[in-house]
């Protein structure tokens, strides 16, 4: 802490010596970060070489945006960030973004800068860019570090700007710890009072799609059912593997419930497809319902449930509350027995699995692996794993190769005689 302060002071000193404007500069924390010996300005994007004085940033919340043109995740994030930036600008918020380039050359930097509406540190100022990367320990891009205007300590600096923008958008402003706590509280309350109608409708739509062309199904028909929200897309390879399994499990659950009466289960496809025709052909393979392609609720839901990757199956209970976000894993582990996915049910299934494991052989040879596999559990080095046979997640019991870490679900083992033993056993 002490060292950092000394550093800042010495930077300020350099500034004041070179600019002869010691009073102004020494109060500006942004100058010490963003200026160099011979530069007290940043580049604006609007006109090629227009300059903006760093002292103009005083009193603003600043986002330092570490990014590069050549990297797709940066370009994807730009779309979201530009939108938030323009909204904040137009409502008069005290916010500015400063681009810290990791581009490879000046041409790339210039063409990238043209597409970004905020300020930039000149490409040629390697030293300042390096110092910022070092100071904020930037390990990957895109990275958005948010600095508060009044705070000279690092306590108020937020490092997870990218995540916050993706999650909360403009709502995250002014990015203080207090604001984030407030958002988290609001989010928790929303989840606690959520209903399936709130989740799946929006002001322009109160239905979802059924499987016939004219088949609009009222969202309210899902009230009182267990509902799986299936985030998936045709272009996604793990989805292509999981969907047929899900269809077969879905049909088994439906059949059992029909015989039993009283309860119902439904799945709603939340499409991440790139165009209407891939949506149509993918949805055509599914026996359940869907949100319309490109509906704004798709994005809202992905944000709301913080969906990080697909396929993802989120289970909503008959009361409209979230039961689990682990629907996919539970189905892989327990198939149709996973229904209704509640903690109580999972606990029961785990106990059953423990019992069943008692009867499993301690070790086996599996057709797809040449070493002997040993039965392990959570307590004995098992833990969550990816089954090398079916590529799906597992947890609890597994057969593991102690030599090379190969691991499979007990249900995926195809037992054989040991490799190399001609006579067998």
- Residue numbers at the binding site for Zn ion (CB under 5 A): 371, 387, 389-390, 401, 403-404, 406, 409, 412
Task: Give the nearest distance from C-beta 400 to Zn ion in angstroms.
Answer: 9
Cα–Cα dist 29/15, whole Å: 11
Task: Give the nearest distance from C-beta 213 to Zn ion in angstroms.
Answer: 38
Q: Nearer Cβ to Zn ion, position 153 or 414?
A: 414
Q: Nearer Cβ to Zn ion, position 346 or 401?
A: 401
Cα–Cα dist 119/209, whole Å: 45
Q: Nearer Cβ to Zn ion, position 182 or 378?
A: 378
Q: Nearer Cβ to Zn ion, position 357 or 404?
A: 404
Cα–Cα dist 133/362, whole Å: 52
The residue nearest Zn ion at its CB is 387
Q: Nearer Cβ to Zn ion, position 240 or 401?
A: 401
Q: Nearer Cβ to Zn ion, position 138 or 401?
A: 401
* 302 phi-psi bin (left φ>0, alpha ψ -120 to 50, beta other): alpha
Task: Give the nearest distance from C-beta 375 to Zn ion in angstroms.
Answer: 14
Task: Give the nearest distance from C-beta 365 to Zn ion in angstroms.
Answer: 11
Q: Nearer Cβ to Zn ion, position 241 or 274?
A: 241
Task: Give the nearest distance from C-beta 370 to Zn ion in angstroms.
Answer: 7
Q: Nearer Cβ to Zn ion, position 287 or 381?
A: 381
Task: Give the nearest distance from C-beta 229 to Zn ion in angstroms.
Answer: 24
Q: Nearer Cβ to Zn ion, position 168 or 406?
A: 406
Angle at which helices 237-260 and 327-334 pack, to 10 degrees?
70
Alpha-carbon distances of 196 from 42, 154, 231, 321, rounded to whole Å: 49, 42, 16, 8
User: Residue 341: which of 361, 321, 324 has the closest Cα?
Assistant: 324
Q: Nearer Cβ to Zn ion, position 174 or 383?
A: 383
Neighbours of 237 (CB within 10 A): 8
Task: Give the nearest distance from C-beta 388 to Zn ion in angstroms.
Answer: 8
- List Cβ neighbours of 320 (8 Å cut-off, separation of 6 or more): 194, 195, 196, 197, 198, 199, 223
User: Residue 413: which of 394, 104, 349, 421 has the closest Cα?
Assistant: 394
Cα–Cα dist 302/233, whole Å: 13
Task: Give the nearest distance from C-beta 380 to Zn ion in angstroms.
Answer: 17
User: Residue 410: which of 373, 383, 368 has the closest Cα?
Assistant: 373
- 16, 25 in Cβ contact below 8 A? yes
The two three-digit tokens of residue 35, written as one number: 């200026």
Task: Give the nearest distance from C-beta 265 to Zn ion in angstroms.
Answer: 24
Task: Give the nearest distance from C-beta 351 to Zn ion in angstroms.
Answer: 21
- What DSSP line would sit under 9-44, residue for residue? HHHHHHHHHHHS-HHHHHH-HHHHHH-BTTB-EEE-
CA-based max dimension of the chain: 91
DSSP strands (E only) in 107-211: 119-120, 143-147, 207-209
């Amino acid at each position: 802490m002490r060292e950092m302060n000394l550093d800042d002071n010495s930077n300020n000193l350099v500034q004041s010596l070179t600019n002869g404007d010691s009073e102004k500069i020494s109060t500006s924390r942004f100058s010490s970060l963003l200026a160099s010996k011979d530069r007290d300005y940043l580049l604006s994007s609007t006109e090629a070489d227009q300059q903006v004085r760093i002292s103009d940033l005083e009193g603003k919340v600043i986002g330092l945006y570490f990014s590069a043109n050549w990297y797709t995740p940066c370009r994807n994030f730009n779309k979201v960030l530009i939108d938030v930036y323009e909204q904040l600008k137009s409502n008069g918020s005290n916010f500015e973004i400063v681009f810290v380039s990791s581009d490879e050359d000046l041409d790339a930097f210039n063409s990238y800068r043209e597409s970004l509406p905020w300020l930039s540190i000149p490409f040629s100022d390697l030293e300042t860019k390096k110092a910022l990367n070092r100071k904020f320990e930037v390990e990957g891009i895109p990275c958005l570090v948010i600095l508060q205007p009044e705070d000279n300590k690092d306590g108020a600096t937020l490092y997870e700007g990218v995540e916050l923008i993706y999650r909360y958008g403009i709502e995250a402003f002014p990015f203080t710890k207090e604001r984030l706590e407030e958002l988290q509280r609001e989010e928790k309350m929303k989840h606690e009072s959520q209903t399936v109608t709130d989740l799946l409708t929006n002001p322009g739509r109160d239905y979802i799609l059924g499987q016939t062309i004219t088949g609009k199904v009222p969202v309210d028909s899902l009230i009182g059912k267990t509902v799986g929200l299936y985030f998936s897309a045709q272009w996604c390879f793990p989805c292509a593997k999981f969907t047929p399994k899900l269809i077969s499990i879905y049909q088994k659950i439906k059949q059992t419930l029909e015989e039993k009466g009283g309860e119902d289960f439904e799945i709603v496809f939340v499409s991440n497809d790139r165009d209407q025709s891939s949506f149509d052909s993918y949805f055509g393979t599914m026996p359940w319902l869907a949100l319309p392609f490109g509906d704004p609720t798709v994005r809202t839901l992905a944000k709301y449930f913080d969906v990080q990757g697909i396929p993802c199956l989120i289970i909503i209970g008959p009361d409209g509350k979230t039961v689990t976000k682990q629907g996919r894993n539970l189905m892989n582990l327990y198939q149709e027995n996973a229904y209704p996915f509640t903690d109580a049910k999972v606990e029961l299934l785990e106990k059953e699995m423990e019992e069943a494991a008692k009867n499993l052989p301690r070790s086996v040879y599996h057709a797809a692996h040449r070493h002997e596999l040993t039965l392990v559990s959570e307590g004995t080095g098992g833990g969550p794993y990816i089954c090398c046979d079916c590529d799906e997640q597992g947890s609890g019991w597994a057969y593991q190769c102690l030599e090379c870490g190969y691991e499979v679900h007990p249900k995926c083992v195809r037992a054989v005689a040991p490799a190399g033993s001609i006579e067998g056993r």
